[in-house]
Amino acid sequence: MKIGFRSRAAVSACALCAASVLALAPPVAAVGRTPVDPSAQGQRKAALPPPGLLEKEGTQVRLRDGAPDLPDVSALSWLVADADTGEVLAAHDAHRRLPPASTLKTLFALTVLPAFPAGIRHTVSAKELAGIGEGSSLVGVVEGHTYEVADLWRGVFLNSGNDAVHVLAALNGGWDRTARQMETKARSLGALDTTVVSPDGYDADGQASSAYDLAVFGRAGLRNPDFARYCSTAHAAFPGYDGTTFHIANTNRLLTGADGVEPYPGLLGIKNGYTSEAGNTLVAAARQGGRTLVVTVMNPQEGEGHTVYEEARELLDWGFDAAGHVDPVGSLDALRPVAHAGAAVVASAGSAASPPAESGWPETGTIASAIGAGAGALLLGLGVTGRRYARG
């Protein structure tokens, strides 16, 4: 539910509310096990959720007794969350701004998918294929050929085709316009770490996202039937010359089992990526036993190119095993503190805040869970420099 606030007084009220929540909440260790107080057995107390930990650096988890230990993950940043409730079960440097590679296509799809019915046919021009980055992954879109929009989306999700992204972005009004729309979409979802320069995820100066934001995009994508269908498609036929077709396969090896990677049970897909600047990146979701988890893994520092899939597998296994044995460290639904023009805007449980009009946010604020609402902190992002060789 969204509630509009037109008075700046609401901002102050929300800040006071958040401060009250944090003042009352007991301190909790970032990594460790939550002890059970024997004297509390049988007592029913109205306890406030502890403050979120996702703004903190390092690994954040709240293990109860009986919880499995976290796996040893080498990625620079990662996160595992319950896709149904939005609760973040564990994370490492969740808001660290890093190059996303083609996982940014999740945001591209969330932004552009609703604009064009799948059955629309379009004849591709040379101008629409101009400017594709050197070394980009391609599905094989050809100038002068006519494609259905659904064909182009299969090229985006399966082959990570930057050529298909360029055509869809041109249909959407252009490259720069699409980038700005993507950032607006990200903000509307509470994803504040993302800067879009190249909508296909190709390395570009200043382009960045985070494990948190990418998990938000993946979770939102699962709620879109078209997105969910495309991202879970393992194999498809793509239009070729003279009415022929050729086979394309999803580059997400956890889905297809290609190159010796064992498919993950219950995998719902989503998106993988690679560039020389970003390393290997992955947003993956799986459903088992009535629960759906979403994980993000960004740039593993050990192993070969398939390490990103194995670390995602370990995080998914841990998340399913940890059900009922961990307390959340944050929420994918939470609006975080925003620093703008020297003032912080804080959203807390049961309240909503309207940021300054010049910030580019809409006039309505989303009610945020206290699980993920924390004390105001100014986020410092890591710069992304240079264009590099890009694939997937």
Q: Which residues are catalytic?
A: 102, 105, 160
Judge contact between 194 and 82, C-beta under 8 A.
Answer: no
Alpha carbon distances (Å) from 202 to 31, 196, 206: 35, 10, 11
Q: How far apart are CA 221 and CA 99, in angstroms?
A: 20
State residue 166 phi and psi, 5-degree precision.
Answer: -60, -40
Residues shown for the chain: 392
- The residue to which tokens 């659904």 are assigned: 150
E strands in the chain = 2-4, 33-34, 59-64, 77-82, 87-92, 121-123, 146-148, 235-239, 245-249, 267-275, 279-288, 291-298, 326-327, 330-331, 338-340, 343-345, 364-366, 390-391
12: left (phi over 0), alpha (psi -120 to 50) or beta: alpha
Q: How far apart are CA 25 and CA 375, in angstroms?
A: 12
Q: How far apart are CA 240 and CA 250, in angstroms?
A: 18
**DSSP tag of 129:** G
- Of 186, 156, 192, 184, the C-alpha closest to 171 is 156
Q: How far apart are CA 161 and CA 25, in angstroms?
A: 48
Q: How far is CA 294 from the centre of its chain?
A: 9
Judge contact between 353 and 14, C-beta under 8 A.
Answer: yes
